[in-house]
Chain A
């Protein structure tokens, strides 16, 4: 049974108090009535089901009631972090693809530094 850090309760609580909510960072299109079939398919039906890092939604339904997001490894079930709903997708050093590094961290990035990290 997982132990999940709730960013609102600011502590780890038993999985029994939580409900999983699927992939995170999938925003409902504001113009949803007008999107194409392909866009709707992408928004509503298609998910990546990655092996490894996933950003997912949880709700502390039997606790503070809040939805929040977590970065978890789907293989080991290790939680890298959890963060409040609405906050941007975090960069998980050493786990997130380098392409997702926030701009501030990309500044001054060199070939050597990238290779160094890769090792």
Chain B
């Protein structure tokens, strides 16, 4: 039997941004692309221990676990404590699709008073407080790539993207952060 292979995150060792907007790679997390109809939400919410949001651009969080509304039957679940989300989904006992995307995505944290400005360097979403408040989440674009933007805190944003796009996203956010912090 072989030794357990070591994990290497796509953005390992990177740092960037400015005092006004720090840009850092997020720690590994487990992630699920969850698809389900309305009738399954009760059971799935119970299985995950949070109420799956049903309003566009919203999210629900509990104990380091986040459920981001991405579409009318689609959620991105993120568990910062690396819980086995696939197992939780399997236990729900209702019709759904759960696909492990823990390694497909990686995340970049943008935080500080100019965080929104950093993201606005390449993201066409309106990030104003009234329209993208704390807890808001949406799939959108950043420059030439697709990302999911999530605002867990007043000055904290989490930008999720596919791993091979992450150096690009990190570079763009870092440049945006430098400019926004001027």
**20 additional A-B residue pairs with CB within 8 Å, beyond A62-B140, A63-B71:** A8-B72, A11-B57, A13-B124, A13-B140, A14-B125, A16-B124, A17-B139, A17-B140, A17-B141, A62-B139, A62-B141, A63-B138, A63-B140, A64-B56, A64-B72, A64-B74, A65-B70, A65-B71, A65-B74, A65-B139
Q: Say whether B179 faces chain A, with CB atoms less than 8 Å apart.
A: no
Give every chain A residue within 8 A of B125 (Cβ-Cβ). 13-14
Q: How many residues of B contact A (CB 8 A)?
A: 14
Closest Cβ of chain B to A62, distance in Å, is 5
Query: A-contacting residues of B (Cβ < 8 Å)?
Result: 56-57, 70-72, 74, 124-125, 131, 138-141, 146
B124 touches A17 (CB 8 A): yes
B140 touches A64 (CB 8 A): no
| Alpha-carbon gap, A8 to B69, bound state (A) | 11
Contact of B139 among A11, A14, A16, A64 (CB under 8 A): A64
Q: Say whether A9 faces chain B, with CB atoms less than 8 Å apart.
A: yes
Main secondary structure of the interface of B (DSSP, over half): strand
B141 touches A16 (CB 8 A): yes
A8 touches B71 (CB 8 A): yes
With A62-B140, A63-B139 as contacts: A9 and B57 at CB distance below 8 Å: yes
Interface residues of A in 1-56 (CB under 8 A from B): 8-11, 13-14, 16-17
**13 A–B contact pairs at CB < 8 A?**
A9-B57, A11-B131, A13-B125, A14-B125, A16-B124, A17-B139, A62-B146, A63-B71, A63-B139, A64-B71, A64-B72, A65-B71, A66-B71
Give every chain B residue within 8 A of A14 (Cβ-Cβ). 124-125
What bracket does the count of chain A residues touching chain B fall in? 10 to 19
Q: Quick one: which of B74, B124, B125, B146 has the most chain A CB within 10 A?
A: B124
Closest to A66 in B: B71
